[in-house]
A and B are shown apart, each in its own frame.
Chain A
Amino acid sequence: MNDPLAKIKPWFQGVSLFWPVLGLGLLLIFNAVFSPSFFHLEIRDGHLYGTLVDILNQGSKVMLLAIGMTLVIATGGVDLSVGSLMAIAGAVAAMLVMKISFAMAVAISLGLATVAGTCNGLLIGYAGIQPIIATLILMVAGRGLAMLLTGGQIITFEHPSFVFLGNGHFLGLPFTVTIVAIVLCFTLVATRKTAIGLFLESVGDNEKAARYCGINAALVKVMVYAYSGLCAGIAGLIATSNIKAADSSRVGEFMELDAIFAVVVGGTPLTGGRFSLVGSVIGALLIQTLTITMYNLGVAPAVSPVPKAIVIVAVCLMQSARFRAQILGWFGKRRIAA
């Protein structure tokens, strides 16, 4: 009862954060050994500068997507459209920001992403279409829409506030870290301090039972897909701001897989029913660290998927109770033999 962590424990309920943290830790230790410049940090122009900062900054997009995706996966669904929603939000913001006020441009682009996410939710919650297909439709059509808006061109812009979003610094860290922190805290509070989290888990665990308990499962689904759309919109604005251009045909491509990977590695099962937002964020950091590690080690780009595969399977195995039991079993035998 005197557990000092008792107060924060409910925030991570049902999911062990130990293994993704261990995976990330091992990867960092590996880097410390093999690339000395990895942990080098210095203050440059009044803010921190170094590889670790890059990981936080570049990883912010997948972290945001993973936060939204966690809630979707908690209800037993999946959202493939996030990459395309990033493209839509980025394109709209880049086109509007030079014409109307920055706040309006952000509001409209995020609003559109949320509306698109809501459409996913309506198809899934009310029309009863399987999530993977409903969101696949938007993944394909959304990309087309974003490209239609920009005419397939890369839209560049010069706008200090918009550029600050993805490149600026706050408290010595990239501003994107602040954005992720705000979204994460808001989501944590909304899901763990209200009944919403419970609704999500009950819908993911047993939708029928949840409905009998009086939970409007369809509405819950609409809400999570809308929220995932919003998170994707924010990620799209960051990605666009980061390169000071809206690259509607390429931005966010394949990022849905990274986001799902981050969520699952973070301990949220794809079958739904329980979730860990913090785990997902750690999972996203794991991916970004892996990517940067590959650049640092000079792994040939063509074969870089191989180490990625090994890390994925290794993290999986570490999380498996059966695998750990087997390893311990081997050690036990050896001890007896000795």
Chain B
Amino acid sequence: MYEGFFSGRVITNLFADNAALGIAAVVMTLVILSGGIDLSVGSMLGFTTILIAVLVQQKGMHPLSAIAIALGIGTVFGAFMGFLIHRYDLPPFLVTLGGMFLARGMAFVISKESLGIENAFYNHMADFGIPLGGKAALSATALIYLLLFALGIVVTHFTPFGRNIYALGGSEPSARLMGVPIGSTKIAVYALSGFGAALAGAVSTFYTTSGNPTTGGGFELDVIASVVIGGTLLTGGVGTQLGTLAGVLIFGTIHSALDFDGRLNSYWLRIAIGGLLLIFILFQRFLTRTSALTR
């Protein structure tokens, strides 16, 4: 229908453009599988971008050390939320909502304005690409996403940690009786989520070569939606990383297709996004009907 829509370039763009979403979705899948939720990822992404920008641009730090610091903060931040959730038996929704506000406020404390990053390393990253023939090339951000996705598959589906997450999300009391280390699993899941959000932030700085304290508003909903579109149940215990990949690509494709069309006005665009989501969801329901019935 659209000339040039299915070119290799559009496909690689799909991965590069949705790298931040995809990375956050890989870890969000773990959180949701464990029966939890993390609303702080959008703010954490915004916090990370401005932190990295300030460290590189104003403190003269090497981007890699700045990213390492940001990833460290993200992980500790997530682990602390996980600690609160586990130790005091608090609802993840509220704790991570608190985290969402805290990270957003801290982002503004670091800088109220967006800040561009001018750095040789960043230029290098932006121009980096593994040629795939034709005009298509795999960019650094797409590569990071694909690597993390591969890692996500291994962790989720082929390690004891992954099995513990499924057990925890399936039923916490049963998991406890089975001897699953509830506390360390939960804390690790949220720590990973914080790490993933920070990594998504770092990837976002590659994408834009800038930091912006306001970025990532509503991002958490996009991430959760992608995971759930991919068939993961919000109640925990059911879902796969492959499904999440499909969810991310569906979400990304809807936007790309509508951008490619370019005839819709703002209002019809929103209606079309909703309509396409509905069609995909109904389609997915239809495909998984049998497995759902046996549940």
Contacts and interface: CB of A to CB of B under 8 A. Distances in A.
**Within the complex, are A and B direct neighbours (CB within 8 Å)?**
yes
Interface of A: 76, 80, 123, 127-134, 136-138, 140-145, 147-148, 152, 257, 260-261, 264-265, 269-270, 302-306, 308-310, 312-313, 315-317, 319-323
A270 B274 CA distance: 25
Interface stretch (B21-29, B116-124, B155-163, B276-284): B276-284
Nearest to A138: B274
A306 B88 contact: no
A145 B271 contact: yes
Contacts of A137: 274, 277-278, 281
Given A137-B281, A309-B105, 19 more contacts: A76-B235, A137-B278, A138-B274, A141-B275, A144-B270, A147-B267, A148-B268, A152-B267, A261-B94, A269-B91, A302-B109, A302-B112, A302-B213, A309-B99, A313-B95, A316-B91, A320-B90, A321-B89, A322-B87
Contact of B91 (A143, A270, A302, A304): A270
Given A145-B271, A302-B112, A305-B102, A312 B94 contact: yes
Interface string B164-197: 0000000000000000000000000000000000
B225 A147 contact: no
B128 interface: no
Given A145-B267, A306-B106, A312-B94, A140 B233 contact: no
A130 B233 contact: yes
Nearest to B111: A302
Contacts of B274: 137-138, 140-142, 144
Q: Give the dominant DSSP class at B's interface.
A: helix
B27 to A, nearest CB: 18
Counting chain B CB atoms within 10 Å of each CB, the highest count among A133, A260, A261 belongs to: A133
Contacts of B235: 76
5 contacts: A127-B285, A141-B273, A142-B274, A261-B97, A269-B91
Nearest to B218: A254
A133 B281 contact: yes
Given A132-B228, A133-B225, A302-B112, A264 B93 contact: yes
Contacts of B104: 305
B219 to A, nearest CB: 13
Contacts of A305: 101-102, 104-105, 108
A257 B220 CA distance: 12
A129 B292 CA distance: 11
Contacts of A145: 267, 270-271
Contact of A127 (B90, B109, B272, B282): B282
Interface residues of B toward A: which range?
A: 35 or more
Contacts, number: 132
Given A130-B228, A132-B228, A133-B228, A302 B105 contact: yes
A20 to B, nearest CB: 12
Interface of B: 84, 87-91, 93-95, 97-102, 104-106, 108-109, 112, 213, 221, 224-225, 228-229, 233-235, 266-275, 277-278, 281-282, 285, 292
A140 B97 contact: no
B210 to A, nearest CB: 18
B270 A143 contact: yes
A225 B234 CA distance: 18
Contacts of A80: 221
B227 to A, nearest CB: 10
Contacts of A270: 91, 93
Contact of B277 (A76, A140, A142): A140
A310 to B, nearest CB: 8
B16 to A, nearest CB: 24
B90 A317 contact: yes
A148 B275 CA distance: 15
Contacts of A323: 88
Counting chain B CB atoms within 10 Å of each CB, the highest count among A134, A302, A317 belongs to: A302
A323 B86 CA distance: 11
Given A137-B278, A320-B89, A148 B273 contact: no
